[in-house]
A and B are shown apart, each in its own frame.
Chain A
Amino acid sequence: MVVTALLVATAIPVIGFVRLAELSNHVRPRLRQAAPYLGVLAATLLVNSVTRRIGPEVSWIIGWEITGIIYGIEGTLVPTLQSLSPPWLVTYFSLTYVYGYVYLLVFPLLAYLAIDDQEPFRKTVVAYTFNYAIGLMCYLLFIAYGPRNLLPNLVDPLLYVNWPRSQILTSEVNVNTNVFPSLHTSLSATVAILAYRTRDQYPRWLAASVVVAISVIFSTMVLGIHWATDVVAGLVLAVVSVRLADRVEDRHHGEAEGDEADESDDEERDEADEARPGVDEPGDDEELDATATA
């Protein structure tokens, strides 16, 4: 509900009325084109949900227990961060952690589906897939409990104290040993990186996504769910996932799009891609008006 409201409220100012209006014509063929990518993502999520059930058992056989090591590295950074946060900020972070995060992941799929160049859409889907796949491997290999589980006297499980329902809801998908790396961080950072790449199509999305992503990343620590180490690992995972998505894109679509494939610099290619929709779409100016007046 909350997420849908957010999506609707931000869709017009960010994506633009015309693109949204035309989306209904394009959505089917574009989705059909992207079907293999979406299929792989769906399969990964399925494997993910199955493995999360048996994962902990496997982890205790092959995994490496690192909670104490993480604590040795960063000490009481998370409790300090928490003690510096006033209650209103905690409420904001709780909402961001649950709703802002889902919004952040869903919105780009919608927005990128609405533009002619489908490369950002594909990259988003592929980068999500890598995030989940690599994250899952890490969860099997590293056993780590979050700060609230090691330092209950220093760290309040703020989200769950203020809002116990959320733990009942999230415990069905989250296992409390799956904290290294932080997938909230890595997926949020992934979205922000891709938003930077598409800043010319969606300048407002860049601003919005960076604000939400940073909020989500901080919320994981302030709420006592993740260590700073998990967050750093999450950022690394985001960069790695985007790079891998670039590779996949190059391999499968690079040749089809001619000389662009040879350009290794992503920034340049993004700009090259952007040039075309401006020419192709006559409604470009109206769209600008629509966003300005919205």
Chain B
Amino acid sequence: MTRGEDDDGFPTRRGVLATTAGVGLASTSGCIRRLRSLMNRETGQQVSVRIKTVPADKDPVAVTIARNLADNLETAGIESRVVLMPADELLRDVLINHDFDLYVATHAGASDPDFLRPLTHSRFAAETGWQNPFGFADLTVDDLLEEQRWSQGRSRRLTVEELQRELVRQQPFTTVAVPDDVWAVREDRFVGWREFGLASPLNYVALRPTGSEAAARRPGAETPARQDELRVVTTDSRVTENSNPIAVEFRNRGTFMGLLYDSLAREYDGSYNPWLAEEWTWEETGDDALDVTVRLREDLTWHDGSDLTASDVAFTYRFLSDTSLGNQESSVPAPQYRAQTSLVESAEALDDRRVRLRVTASHEVAESVLTVPILPEREWRPMSKEADIAGVEVAEGTTEALVWDNPEPVGSGPLQLERRIAGENVSFEPFEDHFLERGDTAPNERFGRIAFTSLDVRVAPSSTAMVELVAADDADATSSSLAADDVPRIGRNSDLELVVEQSRSYYHVGFNADVSPMSNTRFRRTVARLVDKEHIVRTVMGGYASPVASPLDGTEWLPSDLEWGESAPRLSFLGEDGQPDEEAAREAFENAGFRYDEDGRLIAR
């Protein structure tokens, strides 16, 4: 290709201009015009991106995805740099300040696909948390998200399938892989690790002392004595630093917060089951909404001994929808549980034990609103004031509730906080007044008294160190998932058992669509083609994962045409075995409307 022509052989604009300017050289004014025309032309700069992620001590998979992508982008002429940061800093940058180009992280996923609504609906782009951190805005996607919210059954399924196709096509984020959760446990003191998986708070409620598992299940059977201490080890130190269930940057999958704070219902065995609630009834209202009337169990109390009443429940829903309680110019919704709270139009206490919520969604979607943690009004109402540091307002639209580290959490869950040492450990003890402790288990026959006198969660520096602690009987289980490299160490130790479960969470590369060129759908699609999902799953995840196109892969919501399999996947990798095909990659960017300079650098417009 000669200069002045592009790859199709057409003369470029610059070439044409140079020629016409050349004709005008006869006159001086022509010369000046040429000079101006050239001087005012910006040559363009190389496209440069930073990929934020967590260090390998916390997540070797995420950093490898980022590193490989950065290398592949470099091959394609894009300057790229990986920026490592601790998980809470990363989430603060991505979810709160929206200060990133690209990031690699896991999203916790959810059982109902409605979680995609706050995640990708343009209406949520101004909010914090996992509320459209990408700044992605597309009317088709918005419409599909609304449609699935209001539909049920087969028609909802078809809508969700169409929605996934649209998300795969537009790539607000690139879903890389669904990992298996892999935990190491010891069964010499406690059993029942496989019932819910260690990511669920219910795992800790369902554990039984070894040898007594049968007795505890039978209703009315004598409750076995508590084993002394349950010791688990994690690589995620955030639980030791902050106990605020709505501080999004400190929360992972809500395992331990789910033990401190109860919700009206808990999801298990494929349905929503009563928990704080004794029962609830749904009622159609005239104007496109549903009313649910919830009756609480009798004699519920908070960890501080005060009564848990229907007005606490009504307060919780109002508070999570607007943590400023109407005191700020625009509402400040809690960044967590937004899929649920955005469905609740109003909440009112009918009496001490009954509360009515008005929910704007189909019945199928609506039931999930019962799973948000219930907060004590007395503790949280004062947190509705604007956050400040020593009286100085720092960030408008932030309430105390979002930045509070909640050192002495008062919940109503089966465990209460005993002690917390930041960066080291946190311990919980059973809450003696919990309804499970009273034997008031109906209709939760699956659960009985807590089986341990305390739960100690200790922070380990890495996955390898976690296995070491469990192997040395310094811990009973790992509560963070293991790195694939450490799995063989468990097989070699006969005291250790491996618990493997497909995770709902997924690794993804997020794009900041507020920043050029990530705002360009074609750019995002091309970048997506530089992530070799199969290679990553094979090499760093040791097969304990599956490469996926959609975040709903592994659920019944995935349409067959988005399955990862024999047929050529959409947006397939431009290369082989992790190695990008330089020519193909550059051609893909050129086809997407990008240009390269003489040095082979991709140029921003």
Contacts and interface: CB of A to CB of B under 8 A. Distances in A.
A275 B56 CA distance: 55
A151 B67 contact: yes
Interface in B53-89: 55-57, 60, 63-64, 67, 81-86, 89
B56 A150 contact: yes
Given A56-B86, A60-B89, A153-B67, A164 B81 contact: no
A171 B461 contact: yes
A39 B86 CA distance: 35
A168 B85 contact: no
Q: In the complex, which of the residues A53, A69, A171 has the most CB atoms of chain B within 10 Å of its own CB atom?
A: A171
Interface in B453-467: 460-462, 464-465, 467
Contacts, number: 76
Interface string B537-556: 00110000000000000000
A276 interface: no
Contacts of A153: 60, 64, 67, 539-540
B82 A150 contact: yes
A169 to B, nearest CB: 10
Interface size class of A (residues with CB under 8 A): 20 to 34
Q: In the complex, which of the residues A72, A145, A148 has the most CB atoms of chain B within 10 Å of its own CB atom?
A: A145
A168 B462 CA distance: 9
A150 B84 contact: yes
Interface residues of B, number: 27
Interface string A136-170: 00000001010011111100010011001101100
A164 B465 contact: yes
Contacts of A168: 460-461, 465, 468-469
B423 interface: yes
Contacts of A157: 56, 462, 464
Nearest to B472: A165
Interface string A194-212: 0000000000000000000
A68 interface: yes
A68 B83 contact: yes
Nearest to A53: B423
B461 A152 contact: no
A176 interface: yes
Q: In the complex, which of the residues B50, B56, B460, B468 has the most CB atoms of chain A within 10 Å of its own CB atom?
A: B56
A65 interface: yes
Nearest to A153: B64
A67 interface: yes
Given A67-B84, A152-B56, A153-B539, A164 B464 contact: yes
A58 to B, nearest CB: 12
Contact of A160 (B84, B462, B469): B462
A171 B63 contact: no
Nearest to B466: A164
Interface string B499-533: 00000000000000000000000000000000000
B518 to A, nearest CB: 18
A167 B467 CA distance: 12
Contacts of B83: 65, 67-68
Q: In the complex, which of the residues A53, A67, A69, A164 has the most CB atoms of chain B within 10 Å of its own CB atom?
A: A164
Contacts of B467: 164
Contacts of A151: 56, 67
B63 A149 contact: yes
A160 to B, nearest CB: 6
Interface in B307-332: none
Contacts of A67: 82-84
Interface in B98-131: none
Contact of A68 (B55, B82, B461, B464): B82
Contact of A176 (B55, B60, B64): B55
Given A72-B81, A152-B56, A168-B469, A160 B464 contact: yes
A35 to B, nearest CB: 34
Contacts of A165: 468
A68 B50 CA distance: 9
Nearest to B578: A153
A214 to B, nearest CB: 27
A176 B63 contact: no
Nearest to B459: A171
Contacts of A160: 461-462, 464-465
A164 B469 CA distance: 9
Nearest to B458: A168
A162 to B, nearest CB: 10
Interface string B27-58: 00000000000000000000000100001110
Interface in B275-318: none
B53 to A, nearest CB: 10
Given A65-B83, A67-B83, A149-B84, A167 B462 contact: yes
Contacts of B84: 65, 67, 145, 149-150
Given A150-B55, A168-B469, A176-B57, A65 B85 contact: yes
B89 A152 contact: no
Nearest to A165: B468
A171 B56 contact: no
Q: In the complex, which of the residues A53, A56, A68, A168 has the most CB atoms of chain B within 10 Å of its own CB atom?
A: A168
Contact of B465 (A56, A65, A69, A167): A167
B56 A164 contact: no
B461 A176 contact: yes
Contacts of A161: 464, 485
Interface in A1-36: none
Contacts of B50: 68
B464 A149 contact: no
A211 B89 CA distance: 41
30 contacts: A53-B423, A56-B86, A60-B86, A60-B89, A67-B82, A67-B83, A68-B82, A71-B81, A145-B84, A149-B55, A149-B57, A149-B63, A149-B84, A150-B56, A150-B67, A150-B82, A151-B56, A152-B56, A153-B67, A153-B539, A157-B56, A157-B462, A160-B461, A160-B464, A164-B464, A167-B465, A168-B460, A168-B461, A171-B460, A176-B55
Given A149-B56, A150-B56, 16 more contacts: A60-B85, A68-B82, A69-B81, A71-B81, A148-B56, A149-B55, A152-B540, A153-B540, A157-B462, A160-B462, A161-B464, A164-B467, A164-B468, A167-B464, A171-B465, A176-B57
- 10 A-B pairs with least C-beta separation: A164-B468, A68-B81, A171-B461, A149-B55, A152-B56, A152-B60, A149-B56, A145-B84, A145-B55, A164-B464
